[in-house]
Chain A
Amino acid sequence: MIRSFFLACALSVFGQPVFAHPHVFVDAAGGFVFDDAGQLIGVRVFWLYDAYTTLFLYETHDLDQDGDGELSAADLEKVRRGETVWDIGYEGDTYLWIDGQKQALSRPLKSSAEVVAGRIGVTFELHLQAPQNMAGRHASLKLYDPSYYYAYAVPGNAQFFGNAAGCEAVVNRFDPDEQQRVLQQELSSLSPDEVPEDVNIGALFAEEISLQCE
């Protein structure tokens, strides 16, 4: 009892988003990719960086050397490589669960970079290890940075690619009050044996793209 009280204290102190600090804002889009047979093969993700970060990327990737403000094909290739060739262990802030089971995803495939109204954007796909028959199943896609240095928002609707017959998806947007209520519930139901592995700030603010298939 005492232990769970202290645990709850520790969690609510150290799990507070007050310790997190976004510097890069990303308008993201997430979609589910199906094959012709209607099986889920992976997800397609689009990141559109804010205008300020875009200018910072000019420096980090040494873009626009002629200074005309326009990005050449070579510049876009530098962006594509820089943003979609990831260090080992980096999961691309893209997390997929099927029926509550976290899925291992591939490294970025079919990646590309573009400029949309002066902002740099990249698109890539992450594939499942094997295609999944989704009939009667539920998938949850979350785009977030665990450390909340990157703040992802999903302004648009969920997207579908390929044969997604019988499936529907909705975006569950972040609601501060709702999230806090859930966190409090989790804390109050915590027993000493149920120490969560990771109290994750980024996940607290994450928007969920939820897929349900018949």
Chain B
Amino acid sequence: MRIILPVGMLAAAVLFTLALVLMVDTSALSYWAAQQQRSFQNAMAVSLQAIRAGDTLALVSLCGLTFAYGFVHAIGPGHGKILLGGAALSSQSTLRRMTALTLVSSLAQSMTAIIIVVGGTTLLSLSSADAVNLTEQWLAPISYAAIALIGLYLLVRALRQFWRLTQASEHVSHDAHCDCGHSHGPDMQQVDALSNWREMAALVASIAIRPCTGALFLLVIAWRFQILPAGVLATLTMGLGTAAFNLAVAGSGVGLRKLLSGAGQITKGLRYVPATLQMMGGLLITILSSGMLLQTL
């Protein structure tokens, strides 16, 4: 009986996550997002030419367009929404912490684009085509692999937590008033995977290492038009647009976790809920990002 509950929850969580991955049909959404991106992209070209021609107000419309582009573009693969959503589910992070992580990772991703284009072409004399190839062929797979590793890390943590909990619950039932100094219940600190700066830095870095190719295009064009500062500003607003979409995903992750934790309170399984959620998040991140990794290899 004691073992049935955790094993049952574990199995249900795995099945639920797999169903989530398999059932959600994203092709119509991806197609829609691509169509939006196409019109924003064409409008961005018009704004860039207007800025070059001396129309400073066009900078406002360019930044508005790159924000919108960043938002719809984040619906597509990459940009960390899977990691952020999974991490929100997995850790005990507050909405405030997830918001900060989302903003920092998107802006760091913009900074990577700026560093690659400005630094890469001046210091390493990369051509603009090299910069895009570097991103698509090297940085994208590296980022997917790093994200998959974080997913695995969460998964292992969750399984260890499960093991500890089943041990602890057996112990408690033998002697309910045991006072032997080791932990029995699910200590939130143990489940909270994103509480130290090293883990948070790893999360941000795994997203930021791969810049958006759309941002590289923007910077290369702006540089050629001798309006690089405008390109840098518009790249940062593109990052904010990406953050806006990712925030919706991370926020949903936090909400879902709260909801499921709430449901767990009315059952006996409460102590297993945080570890179960961590496992679902870890599994989701691992499956989807290794899928993307395989696709790029």
A residues apposed to B, CB below 8 Å: 9, 12-14, 16-23, 25, 50-56, 58-60, 69, 147, 149, 151, 174, 176-177, 179-180, 183, 201, 204-205
Contacts and interface: CB of A to CB of B under 8 A. Distances in A.
B217 A23 contact: yes
Contacts of B213: 21, 23
A9 B19 CA distance: 10
Contacts of B44: 52
A56 B217 contact: yes
B135 to A, nearest CB: 10
B45 A50 contact: yes
Contacts of A58: 221, 224
B125 to A, nearest CB: 14
B27 A180 contact: yes
B220 A14 contact: no
Q: Give chain B's interface secondary structure class.
A: helix
Max chain A CB contacts within 10 Å: which of B22, B41, B44, B214? B41
A177 B38 CA distance: 21
A18 B221 contact: no
A20 B291 contact: no
B220 A50 contact: no
A17 B26 contact: yes
B129 interface: yes
B22 A9 contact: yes
Contact of B77 (A19, A55, A176): A19
Contacts of B129: 60
B42 to A, nearest CB: 5
Max chain B CB contacts within 10 Å: which of A56, A147, A183? A56
Given A14-B291, A16-B26, A180-B25, A52 B41 contact: yes
A52 B27 contact: no
Contact of B38 (A12, A13, A50, A179): A50
B37 interface: yes
A17 B27 contact: yes
B292 A204 contact: no
B26 A18 contact: yes
B295 interface: yes
Interface in B25-52: 25-28, 30-31, 34, 37-38, 41-42, 44-46, 48-49
